Structure 1
Amino acid sequence: MHKNNISVVVPLFNEEESLTELCDWISRVMQTHGFTYEVILVDDGSTDSSWEIVNTLSQNNNNIKGIKFNRNYGKSAALNTGFKKANGEVVITMDADLQDSPDEIPALYKKIKEEGYDMVSGWKKKRHDPISKTIPSKFFNFVTRKISGIKLHDFNCGLKAYKEQVVKNIKVYGEMHRYIPVIAKWNGFTKIGEQVVNHHERKYGTTKFGLERFINGFLDLLSITFVSRFQRKPMHFFGLLGSLSFFGGFAITCWVVGLKIYNLHYKLPARDVVDQPLFFLALVALVIGVQLFLTGFLAEMLAMKSNSSKDYLVSEQIGLD
């Protein structure tokens, strides 16, 4: 199969007004710079005429392809499906609402092909969004930088560029599209860069995301951080917490019992062990410690059973077919 220079993956949901203008804009940029390309429009269960427009665009331009979901599955599912179908050396993602500029594509392509980045994320340094979106966005970007160690200003920017190898070896699910840089890093693609991009005001329609996305985004960050760090070694997490809880409870139990024995030996006033709330808290810590340790043990066996050679990415090899 002929490999294109660029695959542009565009997830969309009810964007009938902007699709024709967006595709014409992308085509002009590609032709001006002499790129071979494809545009993959992923219709995430639109209820307007978006799919009919995708059909028309595809008939008029062989470089435009479409995928339609039977219902709305979310942006992550749309991106993951588009990544599987893309055959470009560089994969560009952008939103369909015309707030991301196709004029940025050549510079993003250059950073991947000539500067050797695995992934380049757009940074909307000057945003045309209400303060109700910009303030929470800055907070979550700050938290994500601290937790992931990836120095990006705008993790949630839809305009990103990827080396083909990256999109073929990561899986985006749930609402994890916000944290693709984090997923890429934990899969060994550590050369992640940033490019300042223009952010245009929304020309058509309204935003499809509400404030709840920031709550979900924080929970997703905790989830991806946990899975990335402990997926293959769950005992390192559960075993550590279980051991701390068990030995903490054991130490407190010994102290409570030992104190009573000491008081009895020297004929000092001594409370019954079962009259002390601290004793019951220690028993709870012992039980929780055992449960966490067993959870880690079972998870470790499941991880060992599921791990196979196909889980590991071989980037290069010499003298082998």
Structure 2
Amino acid sequence: MNISIIIPLYNEEESLPELISWINKVMLAHQYTYEVIMIDDGSTDSSWKVINQLKAENSSVRGIKFRRNYGKSAALNVGFEAANGEVVITMDADLQDSPDEIPVLYKRIKEEGYDLVSGWKKKRYDPITKTIPTKLFNAATRKMSGIHLNDFNCGLKAYRKDVIKTIEVYGEMHRYIPVIAKWAGFKKIGEQVVEHRARKYGVTKFGLSRFINGFLDLLSIFFVGKFGKRPMHFFGAIGVLSFFLGMIMTLWIIGVKLYHVWAHIPYKREITEQPLFYLALVAIILGSQMFLAGFVAELVTRNAPERNAYLIESEI
């Protein structure tokens, strides 16, 4: 099978027939063998009924329905597990992503050898309340990941099958799939300018809570990708630095006190009356706790079954 198209959706009953018809037209024009996997993320409208009707009309359509709303990342992860195509395309169900972009994305994976190609909606039709936070997230992700993409959160992406069978997506991490892929060892990541269309049906599912969740997930990806197998290097380094900083401040306080005693210089302030004393105390306690946290985390990871599980690209 050439292409698997994964479409997560939530309350998109009006757009689904037009979307599937459009996809089928593009696939037939280019003679691709394909499957469309639609993941109903606990819709409360008639989306699942529509999917059943589309399945009856087109054998290439598959449907998966969640009992409740889990989020886009969960839907994508389940879709990745179910996909069988050599190239996997993800796209939104609201008709803002154009199926006409699929052939170009497919060729960049198959002919140019990319592991992942992310769409870039250079001209957007989203409200400013969505575009400005998106730009901030993109800038922060570029800085932290070193991946030079303009639009990490574009729903229209293409993947080699190996990529989607290797990575795991959860929380709000669908925003950072290129970062997850990079940490998994897939380095050839590209970008393709794609058309962004104005929403035709329904309303956006975008919420303010995604700002906080998205930022926390970015920190999680960065930490797990860099220190997941060696947490002591993170916690231990901070702990040792904080502990020795506290010890230096303590020795300074004691040294100043002893100097005044030996030189018979009046020293009116008690050690415990100095702000530096409390800073030193906090630094020592914090350093000890961070070191112990790293030690415990190291013990946990040593007992993890996947500790020595590494991704092997080829073997002869």
1:151 corresponds to 2:172: no
* Residue in 2 that maps onto 1:292: 290
* Residue in 2 that maps onto 1:172: 169
* Residue in 1 that maps onto 2:72: 75
1:63 corresponds to 2:51: no
- Unaligned residue ranges in structure 2 (runs of 5+): none
CA distance in 2, matches of 1:195, 1:176: 21
Q: Normalised by the size of structure 2, how large is the TM-score?
A: 0.97
Report the RMSD for the aligned CA atoms in angstroms: 1.1
Q: Normalised by the size of structure 1, how large is the TM-score?
A: 0.96
* Residue in 2 that maps onto 1:108: 105
Asked whether the equivalents of residues 245 and 283 of structure 2 are also in contact (C-alpha less than 8 Å), the reply is yes
CA distance in 1, matches of 2:208, 2:270: 54
Helix, strand or coil at the partner of 2:35 = strand
CA distance in 1, matches of 2:312, 2:107: 25
* Residue in 1 that maps onto 2:205: 208
Q: For residue 310 of structure 1, report the CA deviation from its aligned partner.
A: 6.9
* Residue in 2 that maps onto 1:279: 277
Helix, strand or coil at the partner of 1:70 = coil
Helix, strand or coil at the partner of 1:88 = coil
Q: For residue 222 of structure 1, report the CA deviation from its aligned partner.
A: 1.7
Q: Which of the residues 242, 265, 270 maps onto 1:245?
A: 242
* Residue in 1 that maps onto 2:34: 37
Q: Which of the residues 299, 302, 306 maps onto 2:300?
A: 302
Q: For residue 307 of structure 1, report the CA deviation from its aligned partner.
A: 5.0
Equivalenced residue count is: 315
Instruction: Name the CA shift for 1:243/1:307 in 2 (closer, same or farther; >3 Å).
Output: farther
CA distance in 2, matches of 1:57, 1:298: 52
CA distance in 2, matches of 1:309, 1:33: 44
CA distance in 2, matches of 1:116, 1:47: 40
CA distance in 2, matches of 1:138, 1:229: 24
After superposition, the C-alpha distances for 1:132-187 in whole angstroms (9 at most, x for unaligned) are 22122112111111111101000110000000000000000001000000100001
CA distance in 2, matches of 1:274, 1:120: 60
CA distance in 1, matches of 2:266, 2:299: 50
Asked whether the equivalents of residues 227 and 233 of structure 2 are also in contact (C-alpha less than 8 Å), the reply is yes
* Structure 2 counterparts to residues 162-241 of structure 1, below 5 A: 162-241=159-238
CA distance in 2, matches of 1:316, 1:275: 65
Comparing 55-64 and 205-214, the one that deviates more: 205-214
After superposition, the C-alpha distances for 1:25-63 in whole angstroms (9 at most, x for unaligned) are 111111110111000000000000000111111111111
* Residue in 1 that maps onto 2:310: 312
Helix, strand or coil at the partner of 1:42 = strand
Helix, strand or coil at the partner of 2:283 = helix
CA distance in 2, matches of 1:277, 1:15: 60
* Residue in 2 that maps onto 1:141: 138
Instruction: Name the CA shift for 1:309/1:240 in 2 (closer, same or farther; >3 Å).
Output: closer
Asked whether the equivalents of residues 229 and 307 of structure 2 are also in contact (C-alpha less than 8 Å), the reply is no
Helix, strand or coil at the partner of 1:178 = helix
CA distance in 1, matches of 2:64, 2:136: 34
Task: Give the AA of the match of 2:179.
Answer: V
Comparing 84-93 and 265-274, the one that deviates more: 265-274
Asked whether the equivalents of residues 246 and 279 of structure 2 are also in contact (C-alpha less than 8 Å), the reply is yes
Asked whether the equivalents of residues 301 and 307 of structure 2 are also in contact (C-alpha less than 8 Å), the reply is no
CA distance in 2, matches of 1:280, 1:290: 15
CA distance in 1, matches of 2:181, 2:81: 15
Task: Give the AA of the match of 1:162.
Answer: Y
Comparing 163-172 and 264-273, the one that deviates more: 264-273
Helix, strand or coil at the partner of 1:150 = coil
Helix, strand or coil at the partner of 1:201 = coil
Helix, strand or coil at the partner of 1:206 = coil
Helix, strand or coil at the partner of 1:128 = coil
* Residue in 2 that maps onto 1:98: 95
CA distance in 2, matches of 1:143, 1:25: 35
- Unaligned residue ranges in structure 1 (runs of 5+): none
